[in-house]
Amino acid sequence: MRARAASVQAQLEAILLAWGMPADLAAETAQVMTDTDLAGIDSHGVGLVPTYDAMRRAGQLRLDARPRVLRDGVATALVDGGAGLGHPPAAFAMRLAIAKARQAGIGAVGVVNSHHFGAAGWYAALAAEAGCLGLVTSGTRTLAMVPPRGAMPVLGTNPIAFAAPAGEEPPMLLDIATTAAAANKVRAHAMRGKPIPEGWVVDADGAPVTEGEAAVAQVFAKAEGGLSPLGGAAAGHKGYGLGLMAHVLAGTLTGGSFSPIRLRTQAKDEPDNIGHFMLAIDPGAFRPAGDFAADMDAALGVLRATPAADPGQPVLIPGDPERAARAERLAQGIPMPEALVAQIRAVAEAAGAPFLLVAAA
C-alpha cells in the first residue's frame, strides 16, 4: 500500500489522542513521525506504533506528560520528559536551545526521563531552519551494539545528527546510527521481506546473520550477538567510540539511564529514562551570518561538482536522499507493507480510534 501522507499523519494523531495524549502534543508527534516516513526513514515513523502500543500497555509511557524545565541557565537547561514519548520533549528542548543560542550564541539543552524520540535528524533540522547549527545525540532503550572484541551487546544504536544551514544550497543534514544500521531498520527490512545486508547483524561468534526474522531475533530477543558498530570489522572502534560519546552527552550528562545498568533492576512497567542532548550554535556569534552561509554554499558546491565515478550517480551532500524521498513520497504515497497496515488497523480498533489510512491515487 502507498498511503497518502496526510492520512498517515491523521491516523497517527487519532491513535495518540485515543491513547490520552494532549491534542497539541499528539499533533506534533504525528508530524515528526510522518515527516520521518516521508524522508524514507521507515524504521522511525508509523512502523513504531506497535512498539509504542506495547510500551503503553506495559505501563511505561505517561502519554499525558508535558515537558518541563528542571534547570535553567543562560546557555544551558535540563528538561524533564515526564516519562512520555520522546518527540514532544525533544522538540521542546531543541527550540529552547535555539532561543538560548540567539541570546548567548550557543544553547545546550539536555532531556531526562524520556523515551524513544524518532529520528534525531528531525530535531537537528529545527536548528538549521532557524539559521543555527544543530547537534543531537540520544541514548536508547535496546542493547544492540556488539563492541569490537565483544560477543554481547552493551550499547544501543545511540544516534548522532548534525545540521548546518546554508544560503542558496539546502541545509546539510547528517543523521546516523552509531551502529551499522538502526535496530528498527533491521525490523523494517524483515517486515518488507528484504534480506539483511551482510555486516549489519552478527551472532555471538561474529558470523553475519542475513535472514530477516533471524536477524530480528538476534537484535531484539537474544542476549548474545546484535548489531555491528559503524565501521564494521575494519573500523568498528570508530562507531563504538561515537556511540559512547553519544551516550555521555545524552545520558551521563543529563542523568539518563545507561541501559546495561538499568536493565538489571527495571520492572516491565517502569519508564526507560532515556536521555537526549540538543545543541544549537548561532553562526553570528562567530562571524557575520552571511559569510557563514556563503562559505557553506561554496563548500557544498565543491562537493556537488566532484567528478562522479558513475555519471548517473552524482555526489550528494547529507540530506539529499531524504529530500528526494520526501518529494517522491508526497507524490506517490508512503509505502506500507500489508503486515504493518494490519497492525495499525488492529491498534486503532483496540484504542477506539478510526482507521484513516487512505491509498494514494
Where do the domains of the chain lie, and which CATH numbers do they carry?
A: 1-57+320-361 (1.10.1530.10), 68-180+228-290 (3.30.1370.60)
3-class SS at 160?
A: strand
Give the model's pLDDT for residue 233. Answer: 86
3-class SS at 31?
A: helix
Span 341-347, average pLDDT: 98
Give the model's pLDDT for residue 207. Answer: 92
Residue-wise over 305-319: b if at least 16 C-beta within 10 A, else e?
eeeeeeeeeeeebbb
**Which cell numbers in the block locate residue 77?**
537547561
Helices 23-38, 87-104: axis angle to 10 degrees equals: 90
Has residue 152 got a pLDDT over 90?
yes
Has residue 78 got a pLDDT over 90?
yes
Helix (H) or strand (E) holding 62: none
Residue with cell 551570518: 289
Helix (H) or strand (E) holding 342: helix 338-351
Task: Tell which residue, 278, 324, 12, has the closest CA to residue 127.
Answer: 278
- pLDDT band of residue 192 (cuts 50, 70, 90) is confident
- pLDDT band of residue 361 (cuts 50, 70, 90) is confident
Has residue 289 got a pLDDT over 90?
no
Give the model's pLDDT for residue 191. Answer: 87
**Which cell numbers in the block locate residue 57?**
500497555
191 vs 41, residue with greater confidence = 41
For the chain, the average pLDDT equals 96
Give the C-alpha separation, 36 to 351, whole Å. 23
Give the model's pLDDT for residue 329. Answer: 98
DSSP symbol at 145: B
Count of other CB atoms within 10 angstroms of residue 214: 15
DSSP 304-316: HTSPPSSTTS---
Give the model's pLDDT for residue 284. Answer: 97
Chain centroid to CA 81: 16
Task: Tell which residue, 115, 163, 118, 120, has the closest CA to residue 280.
Answer: 163
* Apex 136 CA angle, 132 and 140, nearest 5: 165
Give the C-alpha separation, 66 to 256, whole Å. 17
Q: What is the pTM of this model?
A: 0.95
Has residue 63 got a pLDDT over 90?
yes
% of residues, the chain, pLDDT over 70: 100
Q: Please list the alpha-helical segments (H only) found in 221-304.
A: 232-247, 259-262, 289-304
- pLDDT band of residue 29 (cuts 50, 70, 90) is very high
Long-range contacts of 27-35 (CB under 8 A, 24+ apart): 28/87, 28/88, 28/91, 29/85, 29/87, 29/88, 32/87, 32/91, 32/118, 32/119, 32/122, 33/9, 33/87, 33/118, 34/5, 34/8, 34/9, 34/334, 35/122, 35/326
